[in-house]
Structures are given as C-alpha cells and as structure tokens.
Amino acid sequence: MSRFVFSTLGSLGDVHPYIAVARFLIAMGHDAVIATSEDHREVIEGAGVEFAPVYPAMAVQDEYQALLKRLFEVRGGPELLIRHMVMANLRSAYDRLLRVAVGADVLVSHPLAMALCLVGEKLKIPRVATVLSPMLFLSAYDPPVIPDAPWLHRMRGLGPAFHRFIFAAAKMSVRSWDAPLRDLRRDLGLPPGRFFEMFDGQFCAACTLAMFDPPLARPQPDWPERTFVCGSALYDGKPADPADADDFERFAAGGEAPVVFALGSSAVWIAGDFWDKAVAAAQQLGRRAVLLTGPHVPQSLPDTVRAYSYLPYSIVFPRAAVVVHQAGIGTLSQALRAGCPQLIVPVAFDQPDNAMRARSLGLARSIPFRKVTADRLAAELSALLASSEYADAARSVAGQLAPVDGAARAAGALIACAEGQSP
C-alpha cells in the first residue's frame, strides 16, 4: 500500500480531478490526502478523502465575490493570483506540506502548488506534475489563446520559433513574480531552479500527467519529457439540495430538451445579469431552459425555466439540447461527454483557449462573456440548433471519450511511479 499526497489551489475545478483520482486510489487499497485551502474541506471529506489544510480560506462570501471579480480581470487577475495569493503564502504552505508529506511515497502537484515541488526535493520523494488544460504547456507548436493577447493566436502561422520568442519574452516580463520562490529555494539550501522557475520548475518531476481529454490537444515536441495524456478525471459531487435533482428529472421529462446554462463554480460569482439574458434568449427562441446559478438563484422565473444552485453536470448536461458554459476545463470535460452542441462564453485564464479548442472540434460556437447580450445568445443558440453538423460532431467526440477513464489512467500512472516504474 502506498501513500499519495496531492496539493492543489483554486476553485472546485482545481479540486474535483484530484478527488476523482484519490477515490480511485483509495478503492484500490492505497492512502490519499488532498492538501489545499480550507474552503474545500467539506467537499473533499464528503467525498471520502482525507483533507489537509495548507492555504487559508479565501474569504467570507461578500469578500469572496469581490476577490473573484479582481481575479477574473484579464490583465490584473494573474498577478493577483500569483503574487498575492500563491507567493504570499509560499513559506507557510511549505511548512504545512512538509509535515503532511512525511511518509508519502509520491507527491502530486497542481501547477500552482509550487511549495510541494520544494518539499519533494527536500524530502527526496518522487513527485508527479499535473496539467489540467492544454494552455499550461505554452507550446510553441500548438500556441494557446492568451486572454490579454488573443491576437497572438492568429499569428500561429509564423511558426514555433516566433512563438518561442514571444513566450520567452512574456515569461521574462513576469519573472519578478516568483522571487519568493527563488528566495525560499536558497533558504532551504536547495540548488537553483530553472531560470523560469514559476513556469518550468513544475515539470522537474518523475512524469507529467496531462489530465485533459485527448481530442483537445495532441502531444507536441516541446511538451515535457515523460508526459502521459490520461484524460479528464471526473468528479462532480452531489446536488446542493436532493429535492432539486427530483425536480429537475420531472422538468426534463416534461417536454423537449432544455438549453442548459452553467458558469462553473467561480464565474457564477460574477455573473451579474447573465441569467436574465439567458432567460430572455430562451424565451426569444421559445425554448425551455435550466440555469445552474451557484449561490444566487433567480426567483419569479417563467414556467419554462428552472434554476438550481447546483446539480452535478453529469446528470444535467446529457439531457440538454445545448449546453451554454464558460469553458472551465472541468465543465468542458463534462460537456464533451454529454454529446450535445455547446455555446461557450469564456471569461479568463484558460477558458478562451479551451473555447477555441472546442470550436476546432466542430461542436461549439462562442461569445466572449463580456460581450454577451440576450440577442447574441439567441442568435448563436439558433445557429447551433439549426445545423445537424454541431450535434454530429458532439456525438462523435462523446463516442471517442466514452472509454476514457482519466481517473483510472492517472491512478495507474501514480501507482507505477510509487513502484519505481514508468507510466
């Protein structure tokens, strides 16, 4: 029996994949603990996985909403995340992870879990890096959509050399952000890391697990050595209210397939009037609709619309005519398996890139979140519903993914690592 320590930071989309893998490992007789922020204790322990607090809770509700608005700013959000959340807690996270990691056989790091990389080096415990979305590889051969420079993707025809230069320049411009990481390495007596430690240091691992679905990206020459594409590890929890699941089943069975609107676990906090626009668009088209709104559930809705705080996407999406979502990688993974067309409204971070990759599969259209109007939603939904090509492509991709069990593949790779083998 081996012990695996996972460390992650972020929203539920950054926690659910590790719950899925941890549950698989536990079912096989191993021990697994997920070390993250106090916000996720209830979800992790409710899934039957050991929890270890490493980062403080982000904020109380009103402060959390304000914080997320800042994080989703295209220009200032990444700096806030790295400098004022990750690096500000780096030393305390290292101290806590050091205690959690004692006796572990393998450490598993999320891209933001930079302290775990240092713990692995200090304790000489094998570490496996994970990447949840293709954008994080920053491949010059498959250049991603960068939220604050979307024009760059249109220049992909200039080739890998051009994009290597651009990405190196971008990394140089933010190299000061990881000064606390370099300082902590020195204070711990560890050798100097990579020049772009914040980006490249995470891949100094026994192997890297690409925990996204294979149709989204093919392996590239500049991906890290020993990268294993295992597919999405899916876990989407329980209904916020069990009665909601029964109500949804009755609604879904009572007429044509609804349009489902969802914004993941983070963008729901900055939705603003998005739900009003969604209802208006559905009514323009004469379609039934389901809204998965997070904590702020609209009231006084038409009889043709239902709204719920949260239902597992694996229950709702397969019953949809179209899924409208923000393209967080976990939401996208569930939508791809539902086999229906998608309208994507990306907000920030990896979402614009994920949206581009879904469009390239022929199953989606998209509108930037900040440009959404009821009329645009209605027009894009009408185009999706009028053409069989989107539905055909969606069913084809869902068929490809049906046999892919990302949690099982990732767990198998981790067990192999614990046994000193290659995945």
The answer to whether 131 and 137 are in contact (CB under 8 A) is yes
The answer to whether 32 and 60 are in contact (CB under 8 A) is no
pLDDT digits (tens, 9 = 90+) for 232-248: 999 998 888 889 999 99
Decide if pLDDT at 58 tops 80.
Answer: no
Predicted pLDDT of residue 59? 63
Residue with the two structure tokens 């009329």? 375
pLDDT digits (tens, 9 = 90+) for 322-355: 999 999 999 999 999 999 999 999 999 999 999 9
Tokens of 35: 């070390």
Predicted pLDDT of residue 62? 59
Decide if pLDDT at 119 tops 90.
Answer: yes
Q: What value does the mean pLDDT take over residues 348-371? A: 96
**pTM for the full predicted model:** 0.94
Decide if pLDDT at 60 tops 60.
Answer: no
Report the C-alpha gap between 146 and 300 in whole angstroms: 39
Tokens of 124: 């000489």
pLDDT digits (tens, 9 = 90+) for 253-305: 999 999 999 999 899 999 999 999 999 999 999 999 999 999 889 989 999 99
As a three-state string, the secondary structure of the chain is CCEEEEECCCCHHHCHHHHHHHHHHHHCCCEEEEEEEHHHHHHHHHCCCEEEEEECCCCCHHHHHHHHHHHCCCCCHHHHHHHHHHHHHHHHHHHHHHHHHCCCCEEEECCCCHHHHHHHHHHCCCEEEEECCHHHHCCCCCCCCECCEHHHHHHHHHCHHHHHHHHHHHHHHCHHHHHHHHHHHHHCCCCCCCCCHHHHHHHCCCEEEECCCHHHCCCCCCCCCCEEECCCCCCCCCCCCHHHHHHHHHHHHCCCCCEEEECCCCHHHHCCCHHHHHHHHHHHHCCCEEEECCCCCCCCCCCCEEEECCCCHHHHHHHCCEEEECCCHHHHHHHHHHCCCEEECCCCCCHHHHHHHHHHCCCEEECCHHHCCHHHHHHHHHHHHHCHHHHHHHHHHHHHHCCCCHHHHHHHHHHHHHCCCCC
The answer to whether 258 and 323 are in contact (CB under 8 A) is no
For the domain covering 3-232+404-418, report its CATH number.
3.40.50.2000
Question: What's the CATH fold of domain 242-401?
Answer: Rossmann fold (3.40.50)
Quick check: do 3-232+404-418 and 242-401 share a fold?
yes
| Domain residue limits, the chain | 3-232+404-418, 242-401
Percentage of the chain beyond pLDDT 70 is: 99
C-beta neighbour count of 104 within 10 angstroms: 23
Report the C-alpha gap between 329 and 404 in whole angstroms: 16
Decide if pLDDT at 61 tops 70.
Answer: no
